[in-house]
Structure 1
Amino acid sequence: MLFIAFLTLFIVYSTGTVDARETVNDAARIGRRLIHETSIGTMATRYSSDHPTLAGMPFALQEYYASCFTNGSLLLLFLPISRHSRNILASPGHTASISMWHNPSPSADQPRISLMGNVTVLRHESELSPDLKDCYLSEHPDAKWWLPEDPESAHISFWARFDPVSVYFVGGFGDEHYIGEIPLNLYQEVSYSKSLRVQ
């Protein structure tokens, strides 16, 4: 089942400096690295237009995700009981954001990335490879209590995949860092470098 979503990841990371002005290729590598090395963020969705009191209003809470796909898609654990999931199920179009920091005191000169795309709910465990399940649990061991098709699970849940369709990057201050769109094909194909130092 496919749902349109706008997923924004604001990720802040600090490990060093960039010697020269960032290019869009640098931004793609830094962005993929930030996403890969972060697994908790604040997701925001929007209440459906027919909600009795909060129609169209944004809603935000922390959510888990895991960067388990080579093309930059994200693996989610989708619980119908959650407000985010209900917002997604209520309407094919909605906004979302995920914000996270490696640095406990983030600042405006640090990079962040915004992804917008589609959420596909996988209704059957067979639609997900065991490797992906292991990848998710390696990031979130406590999620074992909410796994799909587990009769002892605390809640009904499904796996879901978030596929970006648009990528926006802010590397920091614009006089030194890249700010703007990252072409989707570049985001999907780039191999992030662990040696790339970002500020």
Structure 2
Amino acid sequence: MQLVGSTLSTLVAAISLLTPPSPISCSPPPHPRHDLQPQQAVFSDSPVTLDETSTTIPSRYYSTLLARRLLAKSPTGDLASVFPANISSGPYWRTPESVASAPIALPEYIADCESTGSPTLIALDVSTATKNAKYGDSTNVSITVSWWDQYVKLVGREPWTKADLPRLALLGYLEEISDSDVNDHGIVACFEVLHRDARLWRPGSRGSAHSGKWARVKVEEAYWIGGFGDRHYIGWLDIEEWRRVTEEEWGRVRLPGEKL
């Protein structure tokens, strides 16, 4: 009996040596969210301002304020459009036929010159996005902005991860800005505050290097990624809320790295 017991002990010890250790998680253990009250929805849509110490995920409304501020503080954005299904030889001279129906995104100068959250840009006749909107199968475009570069300029260093910084996608179509709107909204002065060099090719500039028109991305939908989903709102914004937000409202919120 003693021999059998000794043999069993030896087998158990051998098996334990062959069994691989449990994997070690690099993520911290989850903590219960005691700060959330029963009446608080994680994605609340009520226009309640959250203080910075709260761990509740910001509401859609508060995120809309952040998104409008991000647009106002963004001098550039990536403008995406779609090539038509049939590439003609006219405006698409030297364009490969293989890009038919393909999307393309290119950086553009932008400025937030109107109160409704539709960014202003210069639609040059030579611009790919302008040609796609004018001659393509769809006038739809989208423009994306992020806080990645602006954050580095503010704090003087790279963040520990850019994935936790805000970005925004605005979907709509290109629309020419009328001469009266250009004057009423001070489009030229507003745009040149951010882009003084644009006077060399902007519409109406004497000796402009290119022909073009003032245009807006008429925003129909807005998609917001505030950062990591466990602490920021991610999702579609209400377009009516987006258009109603005032400069006074978005002026009260701050993006990462900004000081009050």
Q: What's the TM-score, normalizing by structure 1? A: 0.82
Alignment match of 2:225 (pick from 162, 170, 181): 170
Post-superposition shift, 1:118?
A: 2.1
Q: Which structure has greater strand proportion?
A: 1
Matched, 1:26 2:72: no
| Structure having the higher Rg | 2
CA distance in 2, matches of 1:129, 1:165: 24
Q: Deviations over 1:87-113 (max 9, x none)?
A: 111123344333443134461111111
Residue 57 of structure 1 is matched in structure 2 by 102
Counterpart-to-counterpart distance in 2, 1:168 and 1:194: 20
5+ residue gaps, structure 2, are 1-51, 88-96, 153-157
Offset, 1:126: 4.9
Return the structure number with greater helix share. 2
The residue identity in structure 1 corresponding to 2:69 is: R
Matched, 1:129 2:193: no
SS of corresponding position for 1:53: helix
Kindly report the root-mean-square deviation, in angstroms, between the aligned alpha carbons of the 2 structures: 2.1
Q: Percent identity?
A: 28
> Is the partner of 1:68 in helix, strand or coil?
coil
AA at the equivalent of 2:144: I
Q: Which digits, 9 at most, give the CA deviation of each residue in 1:16-62, with x for residues without a partner?
A: x6633200111100000000001112222221111233111122221
Gaps of 5+ in 1: 1-16
User: Given that residues 43 and 99 in structure 1 are in contact (C-alpha distance below 8 angstroms), is that contact kept between their aligned partners in structure 2?
Assistant: no
2:169 and 2:107 map into 1 onto residues whose CA distance is: 16
Separation in 2 of the partners of 1:103 and 1:177?
17
- Where does residue 45 of structure 1 map in the other structure? 81
Provide TM-score, normalisation by structure 2: 0.64
2:132 corresponds, among 87, 98, 104, to 87
CA distance in 1, matches of 2:140, 2:217: 13
Using CA pairs under 8 Å that are at least 6 residues apart, name the structure with larger relative contact order, 1 or 2.
Answer: 1
Q: Is the 8 A contact 2:142 2:169 kept in 1?
A: no
Could you tell which deviates more after superposition, 27-36 or 124-133? 124-133
